[in-house]
Every structure is written in C-alpha cells, then in structure tokens.
Structure 1
Amino acid sequence: MSGDQIGNLIYLSVLGAALLTWLLVRGRLNLNKMAQHMAVWVLIFFGTVAAIGLWDDVRSTVLPRQSVFGEEGRIELPREQDGHYYITLDVNGAPTRFVVDTGASSMVLTRQDAQRAGLHPEDLVFLSTAMTANGSVQTAPVTLESVALGPIVDNRMPAYVNGGEMDTSLLGMTYLDRFARVEISNGRMVLQR
C-alpha cells in the first residue's frame, strides 16, 4: 500500500468516525431512526469507495477507442483526457502504445517498447542525437520489421530507440506521411490511406 493510499484510508476513517459520532449524538433518543440513517451513510460510503475503485474500468468502457476501418484504409482516434491522441500499433507483433506527435520527425520507441518488439537495447548503438523539449537525448537508429494496425501493415519502418527516459513512444511524421490525409476535427483524429 502506498503512502497516498494509507493517507486516503486514514482520511476516510476519520471522516467515517466523525459521521458516526454526529449520528450518535444527534439521534440518541430514537435508535431506530439512527440505525436507518447509519445504514444510508454506510451505503453511501461503500458506494463512493466502489465508484472510485472502478472509475478506470468504467471510463475505459464508456469512452470511445481507436477505430480501424481496414477496407477503407481509415483510422479514427479519439482525443484523450490529457488532450493528446494515442494509438496502439503492433510493432514486430508486440502491441505498443504511441502518442501521436506531429512535431516529431520520426517514430521513437522507449527502451521498454523496443525490448517488447524484440530489439535488445543493450545491443543498440546510440550514435544520433535528438533535440527534445527537455534537451538533447541519444538515440539509436533501428528498422522495424513490421508496424501493423489491423489489416494496415507497413514493413521495414525506420525508427529510433530513445536513450533517455520517456514514458510513451512517439509516432512521428515518418509514419504519418504514409497517410494521404491526416485530419483533426470534433475531438477526433482521422488518418486515411
């Protein structure tokens, strides 16, 4: 259990104790009514805890996801809560989540994503340098055997593996240039071949 979770548990316990004390002081003359109120508060408490615990599952079920219309060569991506567009591609057969970055010139993999795709970061040569918002980082050029999204497959894709720390792989213009149309409207990004 992390420190934040322990803090939340203590806070909720104190809040529950305060509510229980208030109910006992307020309803000491009418125990039946007090038991009813207490049951309602317990249900509210457990309902709130359940809603918070299940929020990520509910949100991922309710919010729109990426859609692939293979016969039309079209991909639709919804804008996420953080304002970015994300896409999951199979890189050398491994599902890899990318943030779509029109400001990046290339496809850039994190070390972890490169390893999942069958590349061994310890065998890579980090010769090139990339300029990022956080300064320059060393990168290693690689060639990805396949990058697929459903029936849309690109072979022998040039990419880089980031030598620095990076949370999510970047999908830059070397991949986006393979589409005839890239459009953003109404909170959706449409990629059309």
Structure 2
Amino acid sequence: MSQFDIMNLVYLVALLVLAAFSLSPMFRANFWKTIQQFMIWALIFVGVVVVVGSWDNIRSAALPPQVSYSEDGTIEIPKSYDGHFYVTALVNGAKIDFVVDTGASDLVLSQKDAITAGLDVENLDFYGRAMTANGEVRTAPVRLDSVALGAFDDKNVRARVNGGDLDISLLGMSYLNRYPTITMTRNQLTLSR
C-alpha cells in the first residue's frame, strides 16, 4: 500500500466518522465509548489487512518449502520467501545447510560448518583469496571425503573454508557443475544428472 493510498484511507475513515457523528444522536450521547469501540474495530481491521498482505511471508517462514528428490535423479529446490534456494546436504556425514550460489566459484564452508563436518579449522592454511560482496576474504582449500545430496554421493570433493564471517555455507559452481542440467524457473531450481 503506497503513502497516497494510506492517506486516502485515513481521509475516508475520518469522513465516515464525521458523517456518523453528525447523523447519530446516540453517538453524541456516548461519545468516548463510541470512539473507544471504533478504535478497537479499526485496529482489528488494520490487523486483518496486515496479516492478509503478509500471508505469503508468514506461511513461508512457518512452513519453509521442501526440497524434493525424484526417483530419476532430479532434485527440485523451491525458492524460499527471501528469494534464495536452500538445500541441506551431508558433508562427511554431517548435515550442512547451504544456499545455492551460482555466483560462487567453489563449494564454500563457513568455519562453523567445517568444524561440524569434522575438519580441523585451527590447522588450515588460509592462503587463498576470494572477492565477496563484503570485500576480500581469506580461504583455505580442503578436500571433503563426501558430499551427499539426495541420491548422489560425491567423493573427494574440492571445497574451500571461508576465513571470514559467513552465516551459511555456499553451494557454488565447482559442485553444481556435477549436474549436466541446471534449470531455474521463477520459483524453482532443478538439478539433474
């Protein structure tokens, strides 16, 4: 709803209150009680409008979209409410959440996720460099024993551990290139082998 629409709504409500006040003798007799009841109904109306307008976001947050794995090896990843594609993979047997990032060259683990996957982050050599939206970060190259996504279990996967602050690990092109067909539609990313 634009600022202009909101101002029009306020104007119409004020006009309606003025008309009701001038036409109703009962309204004039119980002025403050009527105003109180009107404000309660107005808040209920505004609450309903907000819930209806935000319903898709509320539903997406409460019930996040589920990734589906088909028998023919197709992985369908629905778009999340924030516009990204999220998937959970098993890295060295540990569940790791990823955002699918076609702008990332490599599969990149956050330090927290690297520890979860059994990597010794303290002894990694962060000599690599990567340019991100937040500037340059140091990276450490690693080899993962396995990355399993659905029916696919890839061995000896090249990856990097991010030396900076990374909230969620990135499923980048070095991993995505293992899928000959990558299709992106408005609301879904499909990977197939």
Fold match (TM-score > 0.5): yes
Deviation for aligned residue 1:62? 4.2
CA distance in 2, matches of 1:149, 1:76: 11
Which residues of structure 1 form unaligned runs of 5+? 1-55
- Residue 65 (structure 2) aligns with: 64
Deviation for aligned residue 1:120? 1.5
Deviation for aligned residue 1:92? 0.4
Q: List structure 1 runs of 4+ shifted beyond 3 angstroms.
A: 56-63
The C-alpha deviation readout for 1:2-55, integer Å capped at 9, x for no partner, is: xxxxxxxxxxxxxxxxxxxxxxxxxxxxxxxxxxxxxxxxxxxxxxxxxxxxxx
Structure 1 counterpart SS, 2:129: strand
Counterpart AA for 2:67: Q
Aligned-residue Cα RMSD (Å) equals 3.5
Q: TM-score, normalised by structure 2?
A: 0.69
Deviation for aligned residue 1:123? 1.3
- Maintained 8 Å contact 1:110/1:167: yes
Structure 2 counterpart SS, 1:72: coil
CA distance in 1, matches of 2:90, 2:188: 21
The yes-or-no answer on 1:158 pairing with 2:161 is no
- Maintained 8 Å contact 1:90/1:96: yes
- Maintained 8 Å contact 2:75/2:150: no
Deviation for aligned residue 1:63? 4.5
Q: Percent identity?
A: 50
- Maintained 8 Å contact 1:99/1:169: yes
CA distance in 2, matches of 1:123, 1:79: 37
- Residue 94 (structure 2) aligns with: 94
Q: TM-score, normalised by structure 1?
A: 0.69
- Maintained 8 Å contact 1:84/1:100: yes
CA distance in 1, matches of 2:121, 2:133: 23
- Residue 168 (structure 1) aligns with: 168
Deviation for aligned residue 1:186? 3.6
- How has the CA–CA distance of structure 1 residues 63 and 130 changed in structure 2, closer, same or farther, with 3 Å as cutoff? closer
Deviation for aligned residue 1:143? 0.3
The C-alpha deviation readout for 1:133-184, integer Å capped at 9, x for no partner, is: 1111000000000000232110000000000001110111011100011111
- Residue 35 (structure 1) aligns with: none
Report the number of matched residues. 170
CA distance in 2, matches of 1:137, 1:63: 31
Structure 1 counterpart SS, 2:161: strand
- How has the CA–CA distance of structure 1 residues 165 and 63 changed in structure 2, closer, same or farther, with 3 Å as cutoff? closer
- Residue 76 (structure 1) aligns with: 76
- Maintained 8 Å contact 1:182/1:190: yes
- Maintained 8 Å contact 1:77/1:189: yes
Structure 2 counterpart SS, 1:130: strand
Counterpart AA for 2:116: R
CA distance in 2, matches of 1:135, 1:141: 19
Deviation for aligned residue 1:64? 2.8
